[in-house]
Structure 1
Amino acid sequence: MSTWEASADLVVVGSGVAGLTAALDAAEAGLRVVVVTKDAVSEGSTRWAQGGVAVVLGDIAGDTVEAHVADTLAAGGGLNDEAAVREIVSAGPAAVQRLRARGARFDARGAQLDRTREGGHSAFRVVHAGGDATGAEIERALVAAARRDRGGPTILTGHVAVDAAKDTSGAVAGLHVLDDAGRPGLLRAPAVLLATGGYGQLYASTTNPATSTGDGVALALRAGAAVADLEFVQFHPTVLYTGPAVGRRPLVTEAVRGEGAVLRDRTGTRFMVGQHPLADLAPRDVVAAAITRRMAETGADCMYLDATELSGFASRFPTVYASCLEAGVDPLREPIPVTPAAHYACGGVVAGVDGRTAVRGLYAAGEVARTGLHGANRLASNSLLEGLVVGERVVRAVLADRDLPRGGALVGAAPAVGVADRGVVQRAMSAFAAIGRDAGGLATASDVVERATLLATPLDRTGVEDAALTLLAQAVLAAAGTRRESRGCHVRTDFPARDDVYQRASLEIRLDAAGRPVVAAEAVAA
């Protein structure tokens, strides 16, 4: 039973680039908007993004939108939706211009924005801010715009989204939330946008903040939406290694390699040469897998990123430089110890480039969504691009859908859900469902999660997050067990080859009658 109720035209769950872009656009269109966030409004995943925004602005000789599309498709391992890729990439320049109009300041050389290159890109097309603090600058600009604009969105901090409220027609009619004291509330609204980020906290070591617990994907599944491509969890190849650790680890942006740094093993050998035509600038899945193999072959705990030949490292990468110094590493004089860590969820809630899902009134944008842009592996710096483009298109969809027929009263609350201890889930996923998976390990992880799962009704933020991580673990394991091939960031050591005959399709997952995730179809067009 809710202790309070409020109403809005649009509820946005999450305060990253996609959520705040949509909230600002919706408020400017005259909608009453409430942004729900678990922590402070500036604490989403966006602020941790270092590299930049991949975009073709037309002022770099030889680079084209078609080249950006081709690079995205090449990285995506045959599972991208080409129409979605083309639409999002083509809309990038206008989206970046609108972001700059809202106050975002990108690094420039004279009148031209500075560019860098990252893995998988055929050109220098990544615009950045603060050297390696692009996400932080974008978040700053959007939060500042939300706070200064009259009639802007209402920000509801310290509240976790529990479940979508639905009416008798099955359409979304609002959002159930819990505050930090566990008090329930209901936000009535005909439209709910999920912009909650990914589920990096499913693994013990990650680049993601503590908020990335898969809440949005779990909520969408329970609301009846489909999800897809969950098995494609991208591990960033280069996270600063400071010994065995749990939680968010400092990222060493891919742009460091884009500027000329190279990977070496402990003997100094450049092991990426011969692994891929782009060597150290290969797509992330290739580099992360190569590092993992080399560590296993040599018995080493980490590999090394040699940036000692780069000029101006401290000013170009101030965030990375500070993290290294704090860990006792001087990147100007010695290679940086690095390992892969869980970084980005390529899959999520099946949604169009306008954020629409199969559930009326429910929208998804950003990392929580599967639009078809990323396929089996995200091309570096395409994520902020997707958040900007889809975030603004959601508002057009919400406005167009306002007059659709609705049902009557709200239906009853959701039943109890499966909840397992977070540490148990993270250890099982890290051991058996990270880089390099096989049938035996996936079955073991499933058994471990199953034994640890109990039915419960979450009463606070921790409970909601643990329930989400439990459901996400079950869903990822189901998808990874079904995909008996290696493609993109999904590497099956027992099925090392790619199968383009039978498995070049995304796996769609829904909840069955018992509330368990099952692979419903291999029918999401690639």
Structure 2
Amino acid sequence: MPNNAYDLTRQTDDVVIVGGGLAGLFCALKLAPRPITVISAAPLGEGASTAWAQGGIAAAIGDEDSPESHAADTVAAGAGLVEEKIALDLAREAAARIEDLLRYGVPFDRDLEGRLALGREAAHSARRIVHVRGDMAGKAIIAALTEAVRRTPSIRIIEGLVAEALLTDDRGVTGLQLRSAADPAARPVIIASRAVVLATGGIGHLYAVTTNPTQANGLGLAIAARAGAAIADPEFVQFHPTAIMVGRDPAPLATEALRGEGATLINGKGERFMLGHHKLAELAPRDIVARGVFAEVQAGRGAFLDARDALGARFAERFPTVHASCMAAGIDAAAQPIPVAPAAHYHMGGIAVDERGRSSLEGLWAGGEVSSTGAHGANRLASNSLLEAVVYAARIAEDIAGSAIAAPAAPPPMLVVPRNGAMPALATKNLRTMMTSHVGVLRDGERLAEAVRSFAALERDTGNIALRNMATTALLVAASALTRRESRGAHCRIDHPLESPRARRTLTTLAAAREIAGHLSDQAHEEIAAPITA
């Protein structure tokens, strides 16, 4: 059971995992019976993007499929930046991780013969997605793992605390500075550990239109970057093409599996517009579909997901989560098209990690969406995210299990940090709005430069540590997007529409992003001063 009353200031923990989603819980279970502390801002299993995942897990377990084919699809979707060995190893480990999840009680769908039922999603060359009741995989996986974690005596759960800073010395990580999620004005507390696993999720809630929960605001990436960790590919943000536009924040998601089952995308005139964008039409890679949907919305024609012919009366049974979201908004998806638009959904970038999940900081591992492994390149293949989370969670557990980790002699000192309190509503809204308008589906140098200057100033000047961490991650994304002068995968520059033949993955730091912002500020000052001194 949760032990929130434990005196953290006197505890030195062997391994601390931050995050109650798939990567964090799976890693904790794999480390048992080693003593573990799991820290979750929300009640365990809530506030994690995993629980919202309507797709499934990609695994080449069909008779006519292979890990090599799965890896080839992953490489193709990643627009030239996928690490091919990483993709192949990921695909080869998929079957074993599915077996793990089955042992933990995940009720994956089965066919009439009792075999795992396999669905197909965009850019996959075969049916290889395992689901739960069509669109409930994430919820079912989190429920099963949460129950397993609560039954494991070696795992201590601390709920309601937010990690606001990573503490280090010249040897590496020494612990975390935490604060109450319910009372952000409360005094921070310290937990000491020389083995920290960040599994804090993605950055979707930095955007005004997103499918992600509130907790997915780039916190883990920010605290790692502020401690000096290397960050990889932060400019690559995947926008899901079919968020349901009914005025909710976050926006409900219309899973890609709907299009896999034959649902089509139409505009307000009833035209199937994706036929003119890609030979795979609705099943094209997500970045292409997102831009197609965005173009229709921007042109004022609107975009709609039409499942009437493909599913009709079977919609509610096959996709209960989407059906419920639509009905709550007064939309009967069996009889009418669903209004959709692109929304920030998944971050291909994150804390740079190696094949064991190790970051550039000694004692810091990262798994799940907060990390960047090289498996996704510039555009994640559908349903590879949950697979990557479990594969790397298992690898991290194996790496830590084989490591000799010395406990800190005493809790590390608290950082001198800005005061904290309730998140400034207007500043937060402005940041999210600028991310959507300036660092969104379509980008250009002028707007990106404006965003970099704005986020750098906010990161430097704000007196709220939570807002500062949001600005830190926003700055990293915007600065790297400005630096990448090409269009590739999910990163689309209208002023640089072609791919560069010399492109490679981004590896950067917060110091480098600040330097870019400094150069922009110097240029702005020179432009202002020039007419006066001429």
Query: Structure 1 length normalisation: TM-score?
Result: 0.91
Look up the SS of the partner of 1:397 in the other structure: helix
- CA–CA distance in structure 1, aligned partners of residues 390 and 89 of structure 2: 13
- CA–CA distance in structure 1, aligned partners of residues 498 and 462 of structure 2: 41
- CA apart distance, 1:130: 2.3
- CA apart distance, 1:439: 0.8
Greater CA drift, 19-28 or 94-103: 19-28
Change (3 A) 1:407 1:7: closer
Aligned match of 1:516: 514
Greater CA drift, 113-122 or 337-346: 113-122
**8 Å Cα contact 2:351/2:366 also seen in 1:** yes
1:33 aligned to 2:36? yes
Aligned match of 2:67: 65
**8 Å Cα contact 1:190/1:402 also seen in 2:** no
- CA apart distance, 1:509: 1.6
- CA apart distance, 1:432: 1.1
- CA–CA distance in structure 2, aligned partners of residues 408 and 452 of structure 1: 36
Change (3 A) 1:414 1:346: same
1:117 aligned to 2:120? yes
1:450-465 alignment to 2 at 5 Å? 450-455=456-461, 458=464, 463-464=465-466
Aligned match of 1:249: 251
**8 Å Cα contact 2:17/2:198 also seen in 1:** yes
Structure 1 unpaired stretches of 5+? 520-526
**8 Å Cα contact 1:176/1:184 also seen in 2:** yes
1:11 aligned to 2:16? yes
- The equivalent position to 2:27 in structure 1, one of 1, 22, 26, is 22
Aligned match of 1:176: 177
- CA apart distance, 1:382: 0.3
Aligned match of 2:304: 304
- CA–CA distance in structure 2, aligned partners of residues 365 and 517 of structure 1: 28
- CA apart distance, 1:292: 1.1
- CA apart distance, 1:161: 0.5
Alpha-carbon displacement from aligned partner over 1:116-145 (angstroms, at most 9, x marks no partner): 111111111100012201000000000000
Alpha-carbon displacement from aligned partner over 1:49-72 (angstroms, at most 9, x marks no partner): 001000011xx3422111100110
CA RMSD, Structure 1 to Structure 2 (Å): 2.1
- The equivalent position to 1:154 in structure 2, one of 153, 156, 160, is 156
- CA apart distance, 1:360: 0.7
Aligned match of 2:274: 272
Alpha-carbon displacement from aligned partner over 1:331-381 (angstroms, at most 9, x marks no partner): 111111111101000110000232111111000000000000111011000
Aligned match of 2:445: 439
1:335 aligned to 2:334? no
**8 Å Cα contact 2:190/2:412 also seen in 1:** no
Alpha-carbon displacement from aligned partner over 1:186-227 (angstroms, at most 9, x marks no partner): 222220000000010110010000110111101111121100
- CA–CA distance in structure 2, aligned partners of residues 209 and 99 of structure 1: 23
Look up the SS of the partner of 1:349 in the other structure: strand
Q: Which amino acid aligns with 1:432?
A: H
Size of the alignment, in residue pairs?
499
Alpha-carbon displacement from aligned partner over 1:494-523 (angstroms, at most 9, x marks no partner): 01111122xx2112121329x93769xxxx
- CA–CA distance in structure 2, aligned partners of residues 487 and 343 of structure 1: 17
Higher strand share: 1
- CA–CA distance in structure 1, aligned partners of residues 511 and 334 of structure 2: 54
**8 Å Cα contact 1:417/1:455 also seen in 2:** no
- CA apart distance, 1:408: 6.8
Look up the SS of the partner of 1:155 in the other structure: strand
- The equivalent position to 1:139 in structure 2, one of 138, 142, 146, is 142
Q: Which amino acid aligns with 1:505?
A: R
- CA apart distance, 1:414: 3.7
1:475 aligned to 2:476? yes
- The equivalent position to 1:396 in structure 2, one of 388, 392, 398, is 398
**8 Å Cα contact 1:475/1:517 also seen in 2:** no
- CA apart distance, 1:409: 6.6
Look up the SS of the partner of 1:112 in the other structure: coil
- CA–CA distance in structure 2, aligned partners of residues 18 and 517 of structure 1: 33
Aligned match of 1:449: 455
- CA–CA distance in structure 2, aligned partners of residues 316 and 81 of structure 1: 35
- CA apart distance, 1:171: 1.2
- CA–CA distance in structure 2, aligned partners of residues 451 and 15 of structure 1: 32
- CA–CA distance in structure 2, aligned partners of residues 209 and 262 of structure 1: 27
Query: Structure 2 length normalisation: TM-score?
Result: 0.89
**8 Å Cα contact 1:416/1:455 also seen in 2:** no
